[in-house]
């Protein structure tokens, strides 16, 4: 079919409905929001609809933003100038009645850029959070084309933490850009995708040595055998990923041969929980989480610990004991790096919880498979080798800072306390 050579005029673009932004600032007091919206409901006969609202109160100072438009009733399209003129009248009435300031401006720019991709939460934690950490994070987001849509404080104790909602940036690029900020400022910065998955976590597994408790149990046992320095060197190499974990474990356990079984009770009684451990576990339990421990340590230590904390499950290695003395051997399945991941999968299946709804926390190389199998893996005061490969890292001394990474505010933690 031949092309029609007759020129046709281009269609006129569809007119854009007028929109406006009202920004309210001033001392917060009861009735300000109600007064504003009451005024908007009767804008000189215009049928106004609310398109977006955001309100925050910071130390008694109110900032309220409202985007409104005119409902199309099929008649004459209301122009922007007419809408703004009417809204300025409403703003003046609200200012006179409440003492706040109400700014009115156009929100009808059709060429305004829209951020692509899923938004992300960026959590800044520290004790304290230095201004250069916030500045650096904001600059890093801007440099990769992202935008900070909102900021809120999550906690002021035991750490200070802020949550930035960032749009227009891809997760890997965002994590890479923020990693250097964390390294130079000393603040912890975590990145998570916005969505229901973040607040739908239902199971957490914790490593024990240097995570749930301070120090390494096997180092304490070795000290009682007079082999502390030797075992500490092997432990450090294993946690840094320099030695195969099972091989290093068997080498360390061998030096315990001959120790009386009562030594296990002594070490267990002297365990010191990491600050915030009880708060983390208690809060998550009251929020319906299944909580447990997966350890490369020993059941003679971890099982009583799990019972005392009311945990749902525990997995660890078992020291062989004959005639009341340690033989220097192990019995049963070895819980090593892949064994920890298998334990997580087993416990999640036991409770019917999908892996993307699980959280794992650990510090050593033998935790990496578990951290990467979980929906969220958190390296806690971990070796650099581990921090670089985990989903996110915490370098605070408080284990309950995990709650802020999960998006819980300090008020929500306090509300969970019976």
What pLDDT is stored for residue 288 in this prediction? 93
What pLDDT is stored for residue 28 in this prediction? 92
Burial class (CB in 10 A: 0-12, 13-18, 19+), 308: exposed
What pLDDT is stored for residue 77 in this prediction? 59
Of 345, 342, 344, 322, the residue nearest 333 (C-alpha):
342
DSSP state of 198: G
Are the beta carbons of 410 and 155 closer than 8 angstroms? yes
Are the beta carbons of 200 and 408 closer than 8 angstroms? no
Whether 22 has a pLDDT exceeding 60, the answer reads: yes
What pLDDT is stored for residue 5 in this prediction? 46
**Element spanning 87, H or E:** helix 80-98
Mean of per-residue pLDDT scores for the chain: 88
Q: Is the pTM of this model over 0.85?
A: no
Q: Distance between CA 354 and CA 361 in Å, rounded?
A: 17
Whether 278 has a pLDDT exceeding 50, the answer reads: yes
Catalytic site positions: 207, 209
Of 362, 239, 235, the residue nearest 293 (C-alpha):
362
Pair of tokens at residue 247 = 């091989």
CB-CB neighbours of 51 under 10 Å = 14
Using DSSP's 3-state secondary structure scheme, residue 30 falls into coil
pLDDT digits (tens, 9 = 90+) for 283-317: 999 999 999 999 999 999 999 999 999 999 999 99
**Element spanning 405, H or E:** helix 402-405
Region 120-129: mean pLDDT is: 92
Higher pLDDT, 78 or 7: 78
Please state, for a pLDDT cut of 90, what percent of the chain lies above it: 63
What pLDDT is stored for residue 12 in this prediction? 40
Beta-strand ranges (E) seen in 251-298 are 290-298
Higher pLDDT, 162 or 9: 162
pLDDT digits (tens, 9 = 90+) for 340-351: 999 999 999 999
What pLDDT is stored for residue 73 in this prediction? 58
Using DSSP's 3-state secondary structure scheme, residue 202 falls into coil
Pairing verdict, β 358-362 and 203-206: parallel
Confidence label for 4 from pLDDT (cuts 50, 70 and 90): very low
List, in sequence order, the alpha helices (H) in 310-352.
Answer: 337-350
Confidence label for 171 from pLDDT (cuts 50, 70 and 90): confident
Whether 1 has a pLDDT exceeding 80, the answer reads: no
Please state, for a pLDDT cut of 70, what percent of the chain lies above it: 91
Strand partners, 309: none
Using DSSP's 3-state secondary structure scheme, residue 109 falls into coil
CA 334 to mean position of chain CA atoms: 32
Whether 2 has a pLDDT exceeding 50, the answer reads: no
Whether 74 has a pLDDT exceeding 60, the answer reads: no
pLDDT digits (tens, 9 = 90+) for 355-399: 999 999 999 999 999 999 999 999 999 988 898 889 899 999 999
Using DSSP's 3-state secondary structure scheme, residue 356 falls into helix
How far is CA 51 from each of CA 37, 66, 69, 77, 150, rounded to the nearest angstrom?
13, 8, 7, 18, 17
What pLDDT is stored for residue 75 in this prediction? 52
The mean-pLDDT minimum among 7-21, 39-53, 276-290, 311-325 falls in 7-21
Helix 262-269 / helix 217-224 crossing angle, nearest 10 deg: 130
């Amino acid at each position: 079919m031949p092309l029609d050579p007759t020129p046709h005029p281009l269609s006129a673009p569809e007119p854009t409905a007028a929109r406006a932004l009202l920004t309210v600032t001033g001392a917060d007091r009861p009735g300000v929001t109600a007064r504003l919206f009451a005024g908007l409901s009767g804008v000189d006969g215009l049928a106004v609809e609310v398109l977006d609202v955001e309100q925050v109160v910071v130390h008694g100072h109110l900032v309220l933003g409202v985007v409104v438009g005119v409902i199309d009733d099929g008649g004459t399209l209301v122009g922007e100038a007419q809408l703004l003129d009417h809204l300025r009248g409403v703003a003046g009435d609200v200012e006179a009645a409440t003492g706040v300031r109400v700014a009115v401006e156009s929100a009808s720019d059709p060429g305004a850029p829209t951020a692509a991709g899923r938004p992300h939460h960026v959590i800044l934690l520290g004790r304290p959070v230095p201004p250069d950490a916030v500045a650096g994070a904001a600059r890093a987001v801007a440099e990769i084309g992202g935008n900070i849509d909102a900021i809120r404080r999550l906690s002021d104790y035991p750490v200070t933490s802020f949550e930035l909602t960032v749009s227009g940036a891809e997760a890997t690029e965002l994590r890479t850009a923020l990693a250097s900020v964390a390294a130079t400022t000393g603040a912890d910065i975590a990145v998570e995708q916005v969505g229901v998955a973040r607040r739908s976590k239902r199971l957490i597994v914790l490593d024990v040595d240097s995570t749930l408790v301070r120090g390494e149990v096997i180092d304490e046992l070795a000290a009682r055998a007079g082999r502390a320095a030797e075992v500490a060197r092997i432990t450090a190499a294993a946690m840094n990923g320099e030695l195969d974990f099972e091989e290093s474990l068997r080498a360390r356990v061998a030096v315990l041969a001959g120790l009386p079984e009562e030594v296990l009770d002594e070490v267990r009684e002297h365990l010191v929980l990491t600050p915030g451990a009880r708060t983390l576990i208690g809060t998550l339990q009251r929020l319906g989480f299944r909580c447990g421990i997966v350890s490369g340590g020993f059941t003679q230590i971890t099982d009583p610990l799990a019972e005392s904390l009311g945990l749902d499950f525990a997995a660890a290695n078992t020291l062989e004991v004959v005639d009341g003395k340690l033989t220097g051997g192990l019995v049963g399945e070895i819980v090593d790096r892949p064994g920890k991941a298998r334990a997580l999968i087993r416990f999640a299946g036991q409770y019917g919880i999908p892996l993307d709804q699980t959280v794992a926390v650990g510090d050593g190389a033998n935790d990496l498979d578990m951290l990467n199998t979980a929906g969220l893996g958190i390296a806690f005061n971990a070796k650099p080798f581990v921090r670089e490969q985990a989903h996110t890292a915490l370098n605070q001394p408080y284990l309950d800072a995990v709650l802020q990474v999960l998006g819980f505010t300090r008020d929500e933690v306090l509300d969970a306390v019976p």
